[in-house]
Amino acid sequence: MRIAPYLLRVVAVAVVGGLLALTLAGCGLFSDEDGDDASEEASSGQVLYDEGDFDAAIEELLAVLEDDPEDMAARRTLGLAYAATGDLDGAIEQYMIVIETSPDDHVAHYRLALWERQAGDSESAATHLEVAIAIEDSDPSYLDELARTYMQLGREQQAAEAWGTLLETEGLDDEGRKLILVLRGEAYIAAGMHEEARASYEAAIEVDPSDGSLAERLEELESE
């Protein structure tokens, strides 16, 4: 089955670049809701991190944690600094400790999931995203990331259902709605659910009747 170049671009951007997270209202990507009182030393490490001096931030924050292993503000920033240097194992290790201490920290589960998926552990990523959503179900980016993770795991029907839930998000603009409908349609196709895929593309055409690529894709589906 041929996929129109437009659709390839949409799926590639949405999956690799996280375009949906930018078009969805109030997604709070990597928002900080940690709520910890940072020590002066941890704050210094945060400043170094904010300035982009990640190696120095890591050195500073490791020293803080050596004196006070319970300083979760320092540990969170250390995880981010490790991730910024490409040390995903180090970032994951720090955030595993964070969620052991604060199991209801949905932001920590979310960050951890993204690093796990990048490290190739999509199963664990899906689990942590599911936990994040169970704690805080009002952030659209969590559902978007979960849908993409399901696609990587070959759980296409679950991905389609997650994107379908996103369609109920308040404040979703037409471009975001169209992208989600397209992604849901492609997920349904991958799951062998062509009737549902057609319905999703028909809804996308209603959102943007001028997009000829959508009509072309629907015609392909009708011919099968």
- CATH 1.25.40.10, applies to 32-138: yes
Residue 97: the pLDDT is 97
Assess contact for 117 and 149: CB atoms under 8 A.
yes
pLDDT digit string, tens, across residues 74-109 = 999 999 999 999 999 999 999 999 999 999 999 999
- C-alpha torsion angle, residues 49, 95, 83, 144 (rounded to 10): -110
Looking at the domain 1-28+139-224, which fold is it?
A: 1.25.40
pLDDT digit string, tens, across residues 186-208 = 999 999 999 999 999 999 999 99
Query: H/E element holding 133?
Result: helix 122-135
Query: H/E element holding 51?
Result: none
Matching fold, domains 1-28+139-224 and 32-138 = yes
Domain boundaries, the chain: 1-28+139-224, 32-138
Asked if pLDDT for residue 1 goes beyond 50, the answer is no
* Residue 115 CA, distance from chain mean position: 10
Asked if pLDDT for residue 41 goes beyond 80, the answer is no
Residue 7: the pLDDT is 46
Asked if pLDDT for residue 2 goes beyond 60, the answer is no
Residue 98: which residues within 8 A CB-CB, separation 6 or more? 72, 75, 76, 79, 105, 108, 112
Q: Is the dihedral of CA 46, 50, 56, 58 positive or negative?
A: positive
Assess contact for 203 and 215: CB atoms under 8 A.
no
